[in-house]
Amino acid sequence: MQHLVCGISSAGRVVPDVDGEPFLVEKAQGPYVWDQKGRRYADTALGFGATFLGHTDPDVTEAVRVAMERGSMPAYAHALEEEAASSLAAHTKDLSKVIFLNSGSEAVHLACRTARAVTGRRKIVKMAAGYDGWFDDVAFGNAGSQEALMGSNVRPSNGDTLLLRFNDVADAELLFSECNDVAAIVLEPMMANAGCVVAKPGYLEHVVSLARKRGALVIMDEVLMGFRLHPGLASHHLGISPDLATVGKAIGNGYAVAALVGHPDIMSAFEDKRVVRAGTYNGNPVACAAVNASMKVVDTIDYAALRQAGDALRETIRVSFEENGADVVTSGYGTVFTLWSSRSAPIDYREAVQKADPSFSANMHIALRRAGVMSMFGTYGRHYISARNSAPVMQQLAEGFASAAQQLAV
């Protein structure tokens, strides 16, 4: 790689060589990826969750093909944009106003800008160890950073961004008692990048209530979790009603698109020019075609069966390791989960750090590759299940994890 910096454009995609061979994707289709030598792998990374319907979904691909033939970037208004906004809003309940962007990072950035304009305040609160994009406002306190541990009595901050401990009600109460300049709090339905740490019962509701009492807006970052638990926002599925939400990944099934959705009264700030937004590629025909097609497909998914199949795989993985003398547990949901070398899943980031085993995670990735399963590489990596994974694919995954359990037991 002579010209590409570090050999890749996004650091999260790096995977190690295995048996002296690098991994380069030659093709991706359905639940599979093929390497440069034509070897096929069942894929559990699935575009970091972006290809929820599987790679190159035929319905989405055909819609995009038609859009490209009509012109991929006309620079003017086009009918597909409102059509895509309508199809997305049909799944987001009272968050009925839509602005399309190109990445989740942009969507979170615009959500924060909107909250500041509407409230007249400056402070943004995000979860310690949460990932809400790589823009400066929120690229702070991510999993793996010293700040995320919140080890001192001084709350970590970076400019106007403050950190909050996930699943810690007392810390949320303390923050809102100490700070009266919070424009918004950015919440995730699950701390995915910290290892799929699930919210405790009542935690999200309590934080939302505190924010509302103090006049702060609630932004749900659903770039990863949106449309993964049901055909809509995970927060709605979990009983949470945010003021704004960011979505991406699944809404375009691998095409570069994200969106900010919000209540009409809040989104009116764009109409009266309190909030500035722009973007050459925002709402382009290709992205809108992908959204339209993806929304039609998610309406056909049997989510209950999908979650059940994923949960069954999680149990099969646990049993496979138990049969080889090892304790493992998964955290998350049937459609996205993290594997831990432990008897219990972490309930917060501090526990996640204590339970994290980089050597186990690295060896697991390598063992899975040797068994024909491709996965994310990293201590807090996630395994995704496609909405269109067939029974044979799920069986292949189960066998791959069983093989990995045997390899790691040697």
Low-confidence residues of the chain: pLDDT under 70? 1, 410
Rounded to whole angstroms, how far apart are CA atoms 119 and 330? 40
Residues written for the chain: 410
* Residue that the structure tokens 């722009």 belong to: 278
First to last CA, the chain: 35
How many CB atoms are closer than 10 A to CB 348? 17
Strand ordering across the sheet containing 157-158: 97-101, 258-262, 244-247, 217-222, 182-187, 123-127, 161-164, 157-158
Lookup: tokens for 151 = 């080890």
For helices 391-409 and 303-323, give the axis angle rounded to 10 degrees. Answer: 20
Measured CA distances, 57 to 41, 50, 360 (Å) = 17, 12, 33
Q: What is the pLDDT of residue 36?
A: 94
Distance set, CA 132 to CA 2, 95, 220 (Å): 31, 20, 10
- Per the CB < 8 A criterion, the answer to whether 270 and 100 are in contact is no
**pLDDT the model gives residue 9:** 84
Q: What are phi and psi of 264, to 5 degrees?
A: -55, -40
pLDDT tens-digit map of 198-230:
999 999 999 999 999 999 999 999 999 999 999
Residue 110: φ, ψ to 5°: -70, -35
DSSP 3-state helix, strand, coil percentages of the chain (rounded to 5)? 40, 20, 40
Q: Residues 355-378: pLDDT tens digits?
A: 999 999 999 999 999 999 999 999
Between CA 334 and CA 346 the distance in angstroms is 17
Helix spans in 224-263 (H): 234-237
What percent of the chain has pLDDT above 70?
Answer: 100
Computed from CA positions of residues 21, 23, 28, 33, in that sequence, does the dihedral angle turn out positive or negative?
positive
Q: In a 3-state reduction of DSSP, which class is residue 202? A: coil
Tokens of 126: 């995000």
Q: Could you give the domains of the chain?
A: 5-56+301-409 (3.90.1150.10), 58-298 (3.40.640.10)
Instruction: State both tokens at 144.
Output: 């793996």
> What predicted TM-score, i.e. pTM, was given to this entire model?
0.95
Rounded-to-integer distance, Cα 386 and Cα 31, Å: 7
> Hunting for tokens 């809003």 — which residue is that?
89
How do residues 41-56 score in pLDDT, each as one tens digit? 999 999 999 999 999 9
Radius of gyration (C-alpha) of the chain in whole angstroms = 21
Closest CA to 164 of 183, 180, 182, 185: 185
